[in-house]
Structure 1
Amino acid sequence: MSKVVLITGGSSGIGKSIGEFLKDKGYNVFGTSRNPEKYPESKFPIVALDVTKIETIQSCIAEVLKTAGQIDVLVNNAGAGITGPMEEIPDAEIKRNFETNFFGPINVIKAVLPAMRAQNKGLIINITSIAGYMGLPFRGAYSASKGALEIVTEAFRMELKDFNIEMTNVAPGDFATNIAAGRYHAPVLDNSPYKEKYGHSLKTMDEHVDEGGDPTQMAEAIFKIINTDKPKIHYKVGAFMQKFSVVLKRVLPDKVYERMLMKHYEL
């Protein structure tokens, strides 16, 4: 019997690539979207789910369990970008980003755990970001939400040891997807003291996504993790320098690393 995989945010970008790759490998894949009717050509079923609305999370899990009988793997992929000077991003937008990138995945985990405990097995893969390992200029809210998910996974793993349920993080770098189009961008204000540097950084961020790697790399990484008996706590997937930046943060003095980031972003 093929494993059942549920991928939140599986209708586009990295989630879609993962779903199609696993489907071709023989897995029973379900994706999610807030508007599944928009994806009639999807290679796998798309179930309605909005990670910010608990009732849709519960109904999605119930529908997949009713259809497939079990959920072996949850890929917590749904997320949203946010950019802007920390001083100028509206509080409501920061809270909305945490609802999607942090509280949403936690609530999906909570909804799927009873079924996994009953099965006495399960794997939960949280898609975070290399940006979650460092506070990036004009991406501070995004770094914080993804970093929070990285840390809470460490706690979850230890709490779940008795139930034969594994959990891991996969932190991607920049990949060529439509994530930039879905970001919340704080406007570049004419009277802002950050106008010049934020405007330049915003252009650079979009270029990094456009020039990013093939999201199939993420699909291949997820496939390998699913077929690993004891997954590691953290994985990084992306260009060498993006992954190496995490290593440098561990070994360099804080101010040296800060200067390196500022030089990279031309600040």
Structure 2
Amino acid sequence: MILFDELIELVRKLRSPEGCPWDREQTRTSLIPYFIEEVYEAVETIENRDAEKLKDELGDVLLHVVFQTVIAEENKEFTFGDVLQNIRDKMIRRHPHVFGTDPASSPEDVNRIWESEKSREKSGRILGGIPKGLPELHRAYRMQQKAASVGFDWDKVADVWKKLDEEIGEFHRAVGEKDKDAMEDELGDILFALVNLSRFYDLHPGMALKRSNDKFYRRFSEVENHYNEDKKNIQEASLEELDTVWNKIKRCEKNI
């Protein structure tokens, strides 16, 4: 706690008239892009299982928490004590199976209790606690989770597969009619159905897409490296040539 207090005082100093001009002029909203970037860097480090770097990235995230709270203190809105008490009280409320008498014998029971309490805190709105600024795949996943927590869900995964086929058919029809608005609407329904499918298989769609993005980035970078090493211009390569190099890289990956 001494080090934490020292970090708070450090940020207060940076924000003071004798501090740093850049830090002093920052606002809640001006810090948002940096905050988001630090969170993503922490997530990437977790995925890379780099504990040493994670120590550094978590510190960067914590700095933003402190920064935002110092700004709130300056505006006389809330204090660090308020932040800590709020999260402590919230965790106690959402764990009545630990700190109360509500039984929970499985992770599913715990999730039900958590979502029920969270909904109550958000004035009873089931979807009220989902930030609209979430990446859309994650937002869809959370909406489906919350709806499922009150029983609004497919009975079995076969029904989800059927729904996906139905949405693909509707998209094909919209394409045939060259109706751009309908195409966008139906494509969204396909993605929403895919999110449902991933949920039934206990997979997160955002993480699945990230894996595919990372895989494509890695392989295409290798294609670029191939042409750079041969001192050839990739922009002059034919699609057939690019496919040949791509497939070679793909085979090499699978043989590792």
The TM-score, its normalising length taken from structure 1, stands at 0.28
Structure number with larger C-alpha Rg? 2
The TM-score, its normalising length taken from structure 2, stands at 0.29
Give 1 or 2: higher helix fraction. Answer: 2
